[in-house]
Homo-oligomer: A and B are copies of this chain.
Amino acid sequence: MGMNKITSAIKENSTFLISTHKSPDGDALGSSFALGLALKKMGKNVFYALEKPGGGKYSFLNELNELNGSYGDRSFDVGIFLDSSDPDHLYDASLMERCRIRINIDHHVSNNGYCHLNYVDVNASATGEAVYELLENLNVELDEEIALALYTAIVSDTGNFKYSNVTYKTHDIASKLYRYPNRYWEISRKLFDETTFEKVQLIGYALGRISLIKEGKAAVIHLSHEDLKKFSDDADMEGVINYARDIKGVEVAVMIKETSRDTFKVSFRANTDFDVSKIAVHYGGGGHSKAAGCTIRDMRFEDVLEDIKSHIVF
């Protein structure tokens, strides 16, 4: 596991770069800041190299104010790269060369061990869980701010304790975090429930375009170019397909968006063993068995659904 070598490398050095993947999510941000705060408590010199997330969703993480990029062209004793299974995903992979010792902390099964020291716990629901283990091994006492960062990491990657990656350990860590007073319910509400007026209107509109096919085993949300023009270009469509997926009896959900005339972005979700990636691959796309997507060009709006339907065979 490399844990002992990692704790030694941390204890014996003084300047640290902490970085994570591009477009950081709650686990990337939370695990990075939890570790950064802990290293600062140990008297270390910490620099963050990560992208500031837009939209203010994570504004409760005070460490976001420390992303000043003030590391300039300096070098570091240790670089710690979190929640990133491959250097290609990193915010800036060239920064690795400026770190004498490179440490990788992650939970992705696809991690290719690209650092000198790699701690990859594939049973951890979030990189935040792996960081919790590391902080225990470093004997750093948690505090409210570290607990909030770890909570953010864990709930982000578990859908607030709802996904199949949750284990007894996930709840055990959550129990320990609750010993530090924070308004955890407000964080969960902010991350999972808070929405915008445009998003609510978009959901309402999309649900007006939903239909059941294949005797209720599949549900389709079908939005034309005219439909989409009613909303802003960067309208947040995240999660809209879940309304189709969550209908009782539905095994396959499809969302078809005509992003420009005769060009369609199509998303697929599966509830059962049905492998939707096969349909996506047929159209030149890809993904996993339960979530996949593709782009279909040069087809008419009236024809695209019939074409897709012919590939959904139960």
Contact = CB atoms under 8 A, between A and B. Distances in A.
Contact of A242 (B174, B193, B242): B193
B195 A246 contact: yes
A163 to B, nearest CB: 6
Contacts of A179: 168
A184 interface: yes
A299 to B, nearest CB: 26
Nearest to A184: B166
A179 B197 CA distance: 42
Interface in A160-196: 160-164, 166-172, 174-176, 178-179, 183-185, 188-189, 192-196
B194 A248 contact: yes
A6 to B, nearest CB: 25
A122 to B, nearest CB: 17
A176 B183 CA distance: 24
B195 A204 contact: no
Q: Chain A: interface secondary structure?
A: helix
Interface stretch (A7-15, A70-78, A208-216): A208-216
Contact of A195 (B162, B193, B243): B243
A200 interface: yes
B178 A175 contact: no
Interface string A218-260: 0100000000000000000000001110111000000000000
Contacts of A171: 171-172, 174-175, 178
Nearest to A183: B164
A246 B189 CA distance: 9
Contacts of A153: none
A95 interface: no
A139 to B, nearest CB: 21
A248 B197 CA distance: 8
A117 interface: no
A216 B195 CA distance: 13
Contacts of A161: 160-161, 174, 188
A193 B247 CA distance: 9
Nearest to A179: B168
20 contacts: A160-B160, A160-B161, A162-B185, A162-B192, A171-B171, A171-B172, A193-B242, A195-B243, A195-B248, A196-B247, A197-B212, A197-B216, A200-B243, A201-B207, A201-B210, A203-B204, A204-B204, A205-B207, A205-B208, A207-B207
Given A162-B189, A167-B178, A171-B172, 18 more contacts: A160-B160, A160-B161, A164-B183, A166-B184, A168-B176, A169-B175, A171-B175, A189-B246, A195-B248, A197-B212, A197-B219, A200-B246, A200-B247, A201-B210, A203-B204, A204-B208, A207-B207, A208-B208
